[in-house]
Amino acid sequence: MSFARFNFKRFGAVVMKEFIQMRRDRLTFGMMVGVPMIQLILFGYAINSNPKHLPTAVYAADNSVFSRTFVQGLRNSSYFDIIREPRTTAEINRLLAENTVQFAVTIPVDFSRKLVRGERPDLLLEADATDPTAVGYAIAAVNGLVPTIFNRDLTGPLAPLQAGSPPFNLVVHQHYNPENITQYNIVPGLMGVMLTMTMIMITALAITRERERGTMENLLSTPVRPGEVLLGKIVPYIGVGYVQVTLILLAAKFLFDVPMIGSVPLLLVLVLLFIVANLAVGITFSTVAKNQLQAMQMTFFFFLPSLLLSGYMFPFRGMPGWAQDIGEVLPLTHFLRVVRGILLKGNGLPELMPDLWPMALFLAVMLTVGIKRYRQTLD
């Protein structure tokens, strides 16, 4: 580097020019200044890696003072919100599979009788452990309750039960991912994350590029219809999406030993919905963005919340209600539940329905906006 040749006036000229250009491009400027602020506030308040108030089902077959004390103890821990009271084991399994509850507590019929006799009865806590980080703190909290929770109830002749080993035995079943292997949760999720990222970006650039290079004017002067252009631009990338899905599935199986309990063909069919939904987002962005840079920025504007609010990086249920509402709109949120549901839980179509229609709705809205926004003239 020869500093003798570095001329500060010339350097200043370049700096000035960059500032002028930056200011002219309002959207870019907004994206650089406004968006980080929005996201700071959004994510700052939304993200919580120690989720509380997790939906819980309690099946109290034994209606005794101990049952009530235990349930109250769960509530007081603030980790559990009891939202269902199922009456059968099958119902518990369904609630867990459908993602309605994160935990299910079963208090067996003869719990209090055995407890009073000092037989240390079992109490079953089942957890949906697909995301190990989402349940860890809550399970620890219950374990903390066990030794002392019944101390106030164990008085008089029962007082001796307070001493020594706990009066009952907490059995924890971590369903779907008993060994708490993070990869089981992350690798299937990555499929969704990568599809979101690449599908939106590729298509967002597709139409913007036509406009930037001037080829749009030519295309518009031909008889080609908007639907033909938009679908024609989507279809090749569906193929690309499937290549990605295949690679990730192979890696999941052979590199990470991710269990594949459910039907992989079903997953391959349903992933189409997700791919097309993302492509539709990209197309819509590209009809709004003036140039390829803006299209890229919009992609990131969409990608970041998808990453952070979908339950991929942080437990979905740890977020406040409003953030969960935003998350529910994003297709990635639902796809994560579908892919984890199929691979880890072995879910079939009936259990997946609650997550399929929101994706379909999202797709329909995005495609409509995209086609409406795609102008057939240069007006």
Q: Does 40 bind other proteins (CB under 8 A)?
A: no
Q: Does 220 bind other proteins (CB under 8 A)?
A: yes
- Site map 349..378 versus other proteins, x via CB under 8 A: ----------------------------xx
Note every long-range contact of 223-230, with CB atoms under 8 Å and residues 24 or more positions apart, other chains counting. Answer: 225/376, 226/371, 226/374, 226/376, 227/371, 229/374, 230/283, 230/367, 230/370, 230/371, 230/374
Stretch that binds other proteins, among 4-12, 91-99, 165-173, 222-230 (CB under 8 A): 222-230
- Per-residue exposure over 124-152, b if at least 16 CB sit within 10 Å of its own CB, e if not: bbbbbbbbbbbbbbbbebbeebbeebbee
Instruction: Figure out which of the listed residues 2, 222, 254, 321 binds other proteins, where binding follows CB under 8 A.
Output: 222
Closest distance between other proteins and the C-beta of residue 216, in Å? 8
Q: Does 221 bind other proteins (CB under 8 A)?
A: yes
Paired with 56 in beta bridges are 82, 103
End-to-end CA gap in the chain: 50
- Per-residue exposure over 89-101, b if at least 16 CB sit within 10 Å of its own CB, e if not: eeebebbbbbbbb
Closest distance between other proteins and the C-beta of residue 140, in Å? 57
Instruction: Figure out which of the listed residues 156, 223, 265, 321 binds other proteins, where binding follows CB under 8 A.
Output: 223
- Site map 274..313 versus other proteins, x via CB under 8 A: ----------------------------------------
DSSP 56: E
- Site map 179..218 versus other proteins, x via CB under 8 A: ----------------------------------xxxxxx
Closest distance between other proteins and the C-beta of residue 215, in Å? 5
Stretch that binds other proteins, among 171-179, 219-227, 251-259, 286-294 (CB under 8 A): 219-227
Between helix 331-340 and helix 349-373 the angle, nearest 10°, is 150
List residues near other proteins by CB under 8 A: 213-218, 220-224, 377-379
